[in-house]
């Protein structure tokens, strides 16, 4: 069997073009909740209120428990920038003041891995957190944000 370059070259170009396209798509941040949550979809604005403890309960009546990744993780940086619209210092000041004034009981809980976030969220009704898009599984519910899931075109919560 003879393979001619004119037959292989178009396939190689198509493959490389597809790989380049896949690399151009930003990595996403999936917002996850406990399966018992009454939430299925949120707007970015509503998500910000939940994470800032301005909205305290989900539609099923569970008190939100916000789970953050540890400082320095790409996931946390993305959440701070796109959900909180804050940097690390602003986030720290925001929750220090909120706890001091009694607006919230405590700052969000911090965990150091996606596996830890998923485990906590899966075991606690009302828990809400985030993992890299594609890291979510059947143990949790992935929310639509502005009507889109993390693997859909136009999804807004990305890790830039």
16 in any annotated domain:
no
52 in any annotated domain:
yes
pLDDT tens readout for residues 77-92: 999 999 999 999 999 9
8 in any annotated domain:
no
Residues of the chain with pLDDT under 70: 1-25
pLDDT score, position 24: 66
84 in any annotated domain:
yes
Q: Do the Cβ atoms of 127 and 67 come closer than 8 Å? A: yes
Residue 36 CB neighbours (<10 A): 13
Count of domains for the chain? 1
Domain of residue 121, CATH code: 3.40.190.10
In sequence order, what are the residues at sequence separation of 6 or more whose Cβ sits closer than 8 angstroms to the Cβ of residue 114? 69, 75, 131, 132, 135
For residue 56, the enclosing domain spans 26-159
Q: How many distinct helices (H) and strands (E) make up the chain?
A: 5, 8
Q: How many CA atoms lie within 13 A of 106 on its CB side?
A: 8
pLDDT score, position 6: 59
pLDDT score, position 19: 45
pLDDT score, position 21: 47
Rounded to whole angstroms, how far apart are CA atoms 67 and 107?
9
């Amino acid at each position: 069997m003879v393979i001619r370059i004119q037959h292989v070259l178009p396939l190689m170009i198509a493959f490389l073009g597809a790989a380049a396209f896949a690399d151009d798509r930003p990595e996403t941040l999936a917002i996850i909740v406990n399966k018992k949550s009454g939430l299925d979809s949120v707007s970015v604005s509503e998500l910000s209120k939940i994470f800032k403890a301005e909205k305290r309960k989900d539609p099923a009546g569970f008190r939100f428990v916000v789970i953050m990744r540890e400082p320095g993780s790409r996931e946390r940086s993305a959440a701070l920038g796109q959900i909180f619209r804050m940097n690390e210092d602003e986030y720290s000041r925001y929750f220090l003041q909120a706890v001091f004034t009694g607006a919230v009981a405590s700052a969000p809980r911090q965990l150091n891995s996606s596996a830890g976030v998923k485990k906590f969220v899966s075991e606690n009704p009302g828990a809400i957190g985030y993992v890299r898009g594609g890291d979510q599984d059947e143990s949790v519910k992935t929310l639509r944000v502005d009507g889109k899931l993390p693997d859909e075109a136009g999804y807004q919560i990305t890790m830039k």
